[in-house]
Amino acid sequence: MALQLPEAGTLTEKASAVLRAASDGLLGPSQAAQLIAALATMAKISEVDELASRVAELEARHGNA
């Protein structure tokens, strides 16, 4: 059975699905750790994207482009 992560879910929901799959024996500990690490990386990327968007918005408001 393949792990199904919620496509539209939040990163927290996806991480919970990974942990649930690991606790149910569908994933091994190392597989779960790799998936959680990948989700953590996605969270960092998302944070950088959001910050870049906010900076661009502030620069546009204040004429600093």
For 1-65, list the strands marked E by DSSP: none
Beta carbons within 10 angstroms of residue 21's beta carbon: 19
pLDDT tens, residue by residue, 5-27: 878 899 999 999 999 999 999 99
Is the residue at 6 inside a domain?
no
Is the residue at 48 inside a domain?
yes
Is the residue at 5 inside a domain?
no
Overall number of domains in the chain: 1
Q: Which domain holds residue 17?
A: 11-62
Q: What is the pLDDT of residue 64?
A: 73
Is the residue at 29 inside a domain?
yes
Q: What is the pLDDT of residue 5?
A: 82
CB distance 17 to 3 below 8 Å: yes
Is the residue at 57 inside a domain?
yes
Task: Give me the chain's average pLDDT, please.
Answer: 92
Is the residue at 4 inside a domain?
no
pLDDT of 65 > 70? The answer is no
Is the residue at 21 inside a domain?
yes
Is the residue at 1 inside a domain?
no
Beta carbons within 10 angstroms of residue 14's beta carbon: 20
